Structure 1
Amino acid sequence: MQKGLDVVKKVVLIFVVVLIPALAWSYAKPIRLLLPNLNGMQCNGAICVEDPKKIDKAADLYESAVANLAAVRISLSASPNFIYCSTAECYESFGGGSERAISYPFLGTVIAPESWQSYITQHELIHWFQFSEIGAVSTMMKPNWFREGMAYVYSGAPESDIPEHYLPMMAKYRDWHSGKSWSEVIHQAGDL
């Protein structure tokens, strides 16, 4: 009886150690952000690219975005993984779809091939600021005008590159934020 139980334990252990991570890697594509090198990326710290020749460009975009946010007193407490894809296949392999970039709380951000602009990196870094200051789950429960309005307001995106339906969200966010310090914004966001 004990021998049969030991065999069952070994099978369960193999299932937990091998099969579950393999299934997660195959079907929960954002999980790949945890180990981007295993998905064909070349990384330098938190910045990863498909083509090693583009690592400097990606790092410049990231550093520029961080500096621009620091200029408006938005500081990040962590450096999330930022994956800069050069191909649609890469973007899709991390779970991206038709959006230009996507941030997955706790995992990282993926930038689509056509989105290598500092303001798009800034937009996604604003989401990371929200995740760290308000909480990832709490941020996702906030109204779209707050989440996206804030991200677009502080992204520095040219108006010509902001989808029209976000413009009223930006206006609502600006009105709400008006005159508030960052600590008031974070505190009052909890009431939204």
Structure 2
Amino acid sequence: MNLKRVFLVSMLAVLMLPLAALAFVKPLRVAVPSLMPGISCPRPNICTDSVARLEDAQRLYESGISTAAAAVGPFRQVPQVVFCTTSSCADLFGLGQRAAEAVGNLGLVIAPRGWKAFYLAHELIHYRQAESMGNLAVATKPRWLIEGMAYSLSGDPRRPLTAPFEQWRSQFETWRASLGDRDLWDAARGVR
């Protein structure tokens, strides 16, 4: 192979990699939801498969942001949320049986059953964790810290949660009570 051909093949591979990632890693689609069939983004921070439900989505968004920001501090960037009203939309983003999912600090997807303020606040707390500690930390820190924080601070009314979620919430609440005046994010970064 000559050098020009190697260069062209390499460039083609580099250009195709993002498309392949979007094709096979469905949650990454939250980064570019308007490229997905049937999804529109009528507001800069809200995308949906049903513009008829836009006002409901806006109210839910504002409630979730308010709850999460009051609990874990203001967001550095305005989170983008995809509100799905159908299971086909949720499937497009790989949600499966989940009510909602934060994909690091790329954005969030809400399934039809996830249109509740505490589900959105829970996922927004995960988004804020990724902003504050990094995506790798959210994937590798202890589950009691990551999930326990989200269950504890989201206003989730379900008590008790099933195992191990209730234990994680309780462990987080015990840990948080021990912090005193220490900053939540500084302390969380130090958890191994």
TM-score (norm 2): 0.86
Aligned residue for 1:98, secondary structure, equals: coil
Aligned residues: 188
Deviation of 1:149 (Å)? 0.9
Identity over aligned residues, as a percent? 31
Match in the other structure for 2:95:
96
| Residues 181 and 77 of structure 1, relative CA distance in 2, 3 Å threshold | farther
Match in the other structure for 2:191:
191
Q: What RMSD over aligned residues (CA atoms) do the two structures have, in Å?
A: 2.2
TM-score (norm 1): 0.86
| Residues 138 and 38 of structure 1, relative CA distance in 2, 3 Å threshold | same
Aligned residue for 1:99, secondary structure, equals: coil
Q: Which runs of 5+ in 2 are unaligned?
A: none
Letter paired with 2:94: G
Q: Is contact 1:81–1:109 with CA below 8 Å preserved after alignment?
A: yes
Q: Which runs of 5+ in 1 are unaligned?
A: none
Larger Rg computed on CA atoms: 1
Q: Is contact 2:141–2:191 with CA below 8 Å preserved after alignment?
A: no
| Residues 73 and 130 of structure 1, relative CA distance in 2, 3 Å threshold | closer
Q: Is contact 1:88–1:113 with CA below 8 Å preserved after alignment?
A: yes
Cα distance in 1 for residues equivalent to 2:171 and 2:52: 41
Which one has the bigger helix percentage? Answer: 1
- Post-superposition Cα deviations, 1:71-107, rounded to whole Å, max 9, x if no partner, equal 4462211122211111111112112122211111142
- Counterpart check, 1:13 vs 2:17: no
Taking the TM superposition and a 5 Å limit, the aligned residue runs for 1:32-43 are: 32-39=29-36, 40-43=38-41
Match in the other structure for 1:23:
20
